[in-house]
Structure 1
Amino acid sequence: MAVIAFDLGGTKLATALFSDTGDVLLNETIQLQQRKGTEVGALIVQQVKHFREEALKFETTIHAFSICIPGIAYAKTGHVWAPNIPGWEKYPLRKELEGALSDSNVAIYIDSDRACYILAEVWKGSARGCSDAIFLNVGTGIGAGILSGGQVLRGNGDIAGAIGWMSLQHPFDNKYSACGCFEYNASGAGLVRVAKDFMKEKKFSKSPLYKSAEDDITAKNIFDGYNENDQLSIMVINNA
C-alpha cells in the first residue's frame, strides 16, 4: 500500500509517493508560477491523476491522499484558507479532490502545514518519542506546529501555530493586515518585501541589490549579500 502526499506552499507544489513505511518512492516539485484560485486547484488535480498513473509502475495500491495547506484547513467544511495564494479564501478543496477521485474509495486528508510538519517529525524526524515539541517553519510564510501532551494543538478556529500573525511591533501598521507582522518582516517573502521598502527609501544605495530588477530579488540574494557584508542586506536580516 502507498499514499500520495502534497505539500502546497506559497510558491510551489511538492508531491511524493510514499510507501506505508515512509519511504519515498517518487517525488516531484512544480512552481506555482503566479497561479491563483482554481488554477492552483487544477494543478493539484493534475498531479493527483499523474501520480496515480505513476503508482502503477510500483505495483502498489493507493489507499490515501493527503495535502498540507499553508494556512487553515477547516475540517468540518473541507474548505481551506491560504493567505499567500490569491483566491484561496474558503476554497472548496475537499469537494474538488472528491470530484477528481469519484471513481475511488481512497481516503482524503487535508490539514495545515503546521500540523503536518510536527506529525512528520514525530513519526520519522527529530521529535520521535516526544510528547511535547514545536516545529518552526520559515518559508514564504511562518508557522509553528505544536505538539502538547502527544496531541497536535489546533486552537480556536484551527489557527493555533499561525505565528506569522504575532504582533511584534507597535503601533499596528496596516501593511501587516495581509500576512501579519512577524511574517511581513521575517519570512522568505517578507525579507524581499522589507528590502524593497528600504530601497524605496534609498537606504544604502550602493548595495548590489539595486542592480537587480525589483521582481528578481530573492531571499537568497539577501542572505548572499549578508555573507558578503552588504549593508542593505544586513539591515534587512537584522530587522527580521
Structure 2
Amino acid sequence: MIGLRYAVGVDVGGTKIAAAVVDSEGRIRKKVKIATEKNDRDQSVAQVARAAQEAVASAGVPWEWISGIGVVVPGIYYPQTGKVWAPNLPGWDHIPLREWLEPQLPRPIVADSDRSAYVLGEQWLGAARGFRDVVFVGVGTGIGAGILTGGRLCRGAEGIAGAVGWFALNPAPKEIYKQIGCFEAEAAGPAVARRAVDLAGRVPSRMLELAGGCLSSITAETVAEAARRNDEPARRVLEETAKYLGMGIANIVSILNPQIVVLGGGLMQAGDLLLDPLRREVREWAQPLAARSVRIELTQLGEEAGVLGSARLALEENCVR
C-alpha cells in the first residue's frame, strides 16, 4: 500500500453520471452510476458531488487517501476562467463548476472536457499506451477529439481544440452544417441512422427487424449490429459512412501527424466492418508519410475511458505518477 494513491474520476453525461475510485496504477476500486437530473441545473451539479461521495463510500477508501477529484463534462472547459459549457445539460452555460463543487467535496478538484479524459485514459491504460502523440475521436451523437501532442493535452486558445465535427468536407454547404458542422452532420450517429432509415424503407433489411419494425427506432448501434449479422444494406450504410469518417480522420492525420488515432463510440461496435474501409479512406486522403506511419485502432477501454482519464487528470494535477 506504500506509495499507492487514489483519485476520483467523474464522467458527467447527458443521461448518467459515472464516478469511480481509481488507484495510481489504474485499477478501479469502485464505480457507481446515477441518472443525470435534466431539469434542474443546481440539482445536476449536486449529483456530481453525490456520485463522487458514493464512489468513495462504496470503495471503503478514506478521503485522506484521495489525491484529488477529476470531473469531465460533455462540452468545453475554459482554462482561463475555469468555467464549463455543456450544451446537453440544461443551464450548464459557462458555469463555475469547480467553484460550485468545492464546498461539497473535501479534496482538490480539477475540471476538463470529456474528450481530454478519453484520450488520457486510452494513453494511460488503453489502445494508445506507450504513445505520446495521440488523437481520440469519439463518434456518437456528435464527433469530438481529444488530442495529446508530445504527451501533453492540446486545448487551444479558447479550450475548443478538438472540435473536429466542424471540419468542412463538402463543397456544397447544407443548412445543417451551420448548426453542427459538416463532418458531424455526415458521419455522426444521427447521420448513420438517417441513411439507414432511408435504405431500410426501400429494401428488405435486418435493421428494421432489430428496431422492432419501427423505422424511426433505427440507430447507429442498430446498423452496427445488423452489419455484424451480414445484413448487406447495413454494410452499405457503413461503407458510405466510412467515406466521410475516413476523410475527416485523414484531415486529423495530415494536420497533427499522430502516432495513433483511437476511435470510440457506439458506431464502433461494427468493428472491422467499419474500421477496414475507414483505414482505406485515410490512406487515400491523408498526407502519404503521415498515413503510412499512423495506427488507427478501436478503443480498448470503452466507456471506462471517461472515469479513468478524469482520475488521471486529478492524479497528474497532484503530482502522482
Alignment TM-score, normalising by the size of structure 1:
0.79
Report the Cα offset of residue 71 of structure 1. 1.9
1:35 to 29, 35, 38: 38
- 2:86–2:92: 8 Å Cα contact kept in structure 1? yes
Partner of 2:69: 65
Report the Cα offset of residue 73 of structure 1. 0.5
| 1:110-131 CA-partner distances (Å, limit 9, x unpaired) | 1122222222233333434433
Q: Which 5+ residue runs of structure 2 have no aligned equivalent? A: 242-321
Flag the 1:26–1:236 CA change in 2: closer, same or farther, 3 A.
Answer: same
- 1:142–1:163: 8 Å Cα contact kept in structure 2? yes
**Hey, what's the Cα distance between the residues in 2 that align with 1:64 and 1:108?**
6
- 2:32–2:54: 8 Å Cα contact kept in structure 1? no
Aligned residues: percent identity?
Answer: 37
Partner of 1:120: 121
Report the Cα offset of residue 170 of structure 1. 3.1
2:102 to 91, 98, 102: 98
CA RMSD of aligned residues (A): 3.0
Greater Cα offset, 11-20 or 209-218: 209-218
Structure having the higher helix fraction is 2
Matching of residues 10-49 of structure 1 within 5 Å = 10-32=14-36, 35=38, 38=41, 39-49=43-53
Flag the 1:181–1:121 CA change in 2: closer, same or farther, 3 A.
Answer: same
- 1:6–1:16: 8 Å Cα contact kept in structure 2? yes
Q: What count of residue pairs does the alignment treat as equivalent?
A: 232
Greater Cα offset, 218-227 or 107-116: 218-227
Give the match's secondary structure for 2:173: coil
Report the Cα offset of residue 152 of structure 1. 1.7
| 1:3-56 CA-partner distances (Å, limit 9, x unpaired) | 110123344322211113321100123454x8256153343232123224324x
**Hey, what's the Cα distance between the residues in 2 that align with 1:62 and 1:152?**
23
**Hey, what's the Cα distance between the residues in 1 that align with 2:96 and 2:196?**
35
Flag the 1:176–1:46 CA change in 2: closer, same or farther, 3 A.
Answer: farther
Give the match's secondary structure for 2:68: strand
**Hey, what's the Cα distance between the residues in 2 that align with 1:227 and 1:120?**
27
- 1:117–1:145: 8 Å Cα contact kept in structure 2? yes
Partner of 2:298: none
Give the match's secondary structure for 2:180: coil
| 1:188-213 CA-partner distances (Å, limit 9, x unpaired) | 344335545x37xx842644527544
2:92 to 88, 91, 108: 88
